[in-house]
Amino acid sequence: MITVTQSADIDTPPQKIWDYIADFKNWRQFTAAKLRFTKLYHDFRLAPGCEAGAGATVVMRRRNVNVSWTITDWAPPCKLAMTARERHLLGSFDWSLAITVSARTSLTTCVEIRFDFEPVGRLTNSLLSFFDAEKSFQAKAQEMLTRLKAALGG
């Protein structure tokens, strides 16, 4: 399993940060992935009939693939955590993502992003041995924090 944790201080009150991350429409910009010549966008939305909260399903659409995430922890304005199994032709991956928001002062908030990533199956494990996945996920978490900071003016 690969675990990556990144954090940053943002000069914004915790509630404002929570309001932003709890609105899944914002995640398109917040989670965009840099590719060599373009960005890969992920559209997130609550599944039909779901209300935000523990147990709800969040659907992520990337290109033509849908991945269903389950919210495992919903503790406004402190923590949002989700898990998913992403299936591909060559294998599957188990993901968990947790975003923790904690006040440092009345105007400064620490935001921590944690990814847990586990390839499922020998072929998937073998393929990942050729890539520095941990370094890639560290960069992704840092990009997310940078975009969050820019979006909130912190």
From the list 37, 6, 42, the residue with the least C-alpha distance to 27 is: 42
For residue 145, the SS3 value is: helix
- Helix axis angle for 133-152 and 14-21, nearest 10°, is 120
Q: Which CATH number fits domain 2-152: 3.20.20.150, 3.30.530.20, 3.40.50.11400, 3.90.1640.10?
A: 3.30.530.20
Q: How far apart are CA 42 and CA 39, in angstroms?
A: 10
Domain range summary for the chain, segments of one domain joined by + = 2-152
Q: How far apart are CA 53 and CA 74, in angstroms?
A: 5
Residue 82: predicted pLDDT: 95
**Alpha helices in the chain, H assignment, sequence order:** 14-21, 27-30, 122-128, 133-152
Whether the predicted pLDDT of 122 surpasses 80: no
pLDDT in tens, 31-56: 876 655 555 667 889 999 999 999 99
What mean pLDDT value characterizes the chain?
86
pTM, entire model? 0.87
